Structure 1
């Protein structure tokens, strides 16, 4: 199943080039009071909501995908967890390009661990990345991302994939400079998720997935998840050793070689096998 959030926080099922509005499924979410539980209530309830969405899909109002604004499929992640230099070729290019490393030592993922991005940096495919520092280089980084569906701590790799609610495309936009990663990558609009959430039964095995980013028809990044240093299973096990993972948390698996600057006016065409594609605009402030 492909689930999207669109327009004014409507919920939809994606069927080909159409979206079926199933927002009525939100009536099945229980009422909560302050202090609100951590995480995303919709993702936490997703297993129970899926049958209701299928029923509503038979009669829901239909929209063309091209006619709606796609928001981030997950609305309230408690954490956005990112994996730095998780492809060998990207590690090599980062070490070789002073425009990326700014004179600092680029450590391996084993040496530097994971990092967190601010949830306030999150947008959807129908929104735009804002380039507001003309004095700095801003790069694109396409990544396979997944959403945690159940509370998890000290997970073993053998059953780690059972904790995934779905997969989506991610853009980890990055402003180059000497500051820490989480600061440079957490600017407003610098985390793009979309275009929709694909449930694991439809997405399949995440270990051998092709993906590509193009600008103006020219390939910038192209890789396969088989080249990950820490694959999805290992990332869940590794992250859950440090953090309690909760429904709605997003894990960004890392970007391959080919990172390069973007400019206002660029359209980033991002495609991941098993998910589809999204086109994300870059605009000046």
Structure 2
């Protein structure tokens, strides 16, 4: 299935070129709260309740007319995998990769959905796009083996891990509001038997910047879920951003960023730099000492 949030938090099942509104078929979906109806569905299935959606006679809306939202507007946590493609390691001249660096966390308040804008914080610091495969956890995972890792995955989505190139810690540079576009929906794991064999492409301003296959991940999805679960317990609805390939580059006001992943879909967002300020004016900056 392809499951989406649309309009005012309605739960939709993608059927061809239309969304079928199935909100009323999931008990409690209409009052799911900030985490959203899709998070509620994931938790319901984790609890062992079988929810089978009926499409007959249900309200339908064209995908071109639906206002798609982030499928998980407030995930419990977002886990990032730094330097998880060898070509990106070479591009950024890193001497280490995810194998040495481990994983990092992004603020869940950084999530936006399709059609929204990435807001650039600084006028004089480069902010890059990073197109990534997103893994959505479906069952609580703690110290799971790589062999068992996919049994804990609910599905997959597109994730843009937006990053300021400055001196702060990764989680700071990647956690600004709007810095984690997710969508356009979640594709359940049964439709993607091998997540380590998906083509990925990311365009900015109509030009392709990133093109790869997830086969080139240093830590594949199985290894990454296993490793992350050895550090922190993963809960249903948590999102893992699996890392970005070579081709990251600066975003400018008015850009359109499009991430497409085979068998998943197309996530498009804008870029707004109209409120960017000089880096030197950031809150908390210490003025240089006077001699």
Structure 2 contact 23–29 (Cα < 8 Å) conserved: no
Structure 2 contact 81–243 (Cα < 8 Å) conserved: yes
Equivalents in 1 of 2:149, 2:116: separation in Å? 32
Matched, 1:45 2:44: yes
Partner of 2:27, secondary structure, is helix
Q: Return the offset for 1:42.
A: 2.8
Matched, 1:272 2:261: yes
Q: Return the offset for 1:16.
A: 2.1
Equivalents in 1 of 2:209, 2:68: separation in Å? 24
Equivalents in 2 of 1:150, 1:246: separation in Å? 6
Structure 2 contact 256–270 (Cα < 8 Å) conserved: yes
Please name the residue that 1:94 is paired with.
92
Equivalents in 1 of 2:263, 2:11: separation in Å? 20
Matched, 1:194 2:192: no
Equivalents in 2 of 1:172, 1:271: separation in Å? 14
Matched, 1:156 2:145: yes
Equivalents in 2 of 1:89, 1:189: separation in Å? 26
Q: Structure 1 residue aligned with 2:217, among 210, 220, 228?
A: 228
Please name the residue that 2:154 is paired with.
165
TM score, norm. by length of structure 1: 0.89
Give the alignment of 1:251-262 within 5 angstroms.
251-262=240-251
Equivalents in 1 of 2:25, 2:109: separation in Å? 26
Unpaired runs of at least 5, structure 1: 96-104
Partner of 1:67, secondary structure, is coil
Relative to 1, partners in 2 of residues 1:49 and 1:59: Cα closer, same or farther, differing over 3 Å?
farther
Partner of 1:158, secondary structure, is coil
Structure 1 contact 4–13 (Cα < 8 Å) conserved: yes
Matched, 1:18 2:18: yes
Give CA deviations for 1:125-163 in whole Å, capped at 9, x if unaligned: 132111231111110000000110011111001111010
For these two proteins, the number of residue pairs brought into alignment is: 269
Structure 1 contact 43–74 (Cα < 8 Å) conserved: no
Structure 1 contact 145–253 (Cα < 8 Å) conserved: yes
Equivalents in 1 of 2:49, 2:260: separation in Å? 28
Equivalents in 2 of 1:263, 1:3: separation in Å? 31
Unpaired runs of at least 5, structure 2: 276-291
* Structure 1, 141-150 or 123-132: larger mean CA deviation: 123-132
Equivalents in 2 of 1:243, 1:178: separation in Å? 26
Give the alignment of 1:98-109 within 5 angstroms.
107-109=96-98
Q: Structure 1 residue aligned with 2:196, among 182, 188, 207?
A: 207
Equivalents in 1 of 2:95, 2:168: separation in Å? 13
Please name the residue that 1:246 is paired with.
235
Equivalents in 1 of 2:153, 2:226: separation in Å? 12
Partner of 1:192, secondary structure, is strand
Equivalents in 2 of 1:14, 1:196: separation in Å? 9
* Structure 1, 77-86 or 125-134: larger mean CA deviation: 125-134
Please name the residue that 2:288 is paired with.
none
* Structure 1, 216-225 or 228-237: larger mean CA deviation: 216-225
TM score, norm. by length of structure 2: 0.87
Structure 1 contact 25–49 (Cα < 8 Å) conserved: no
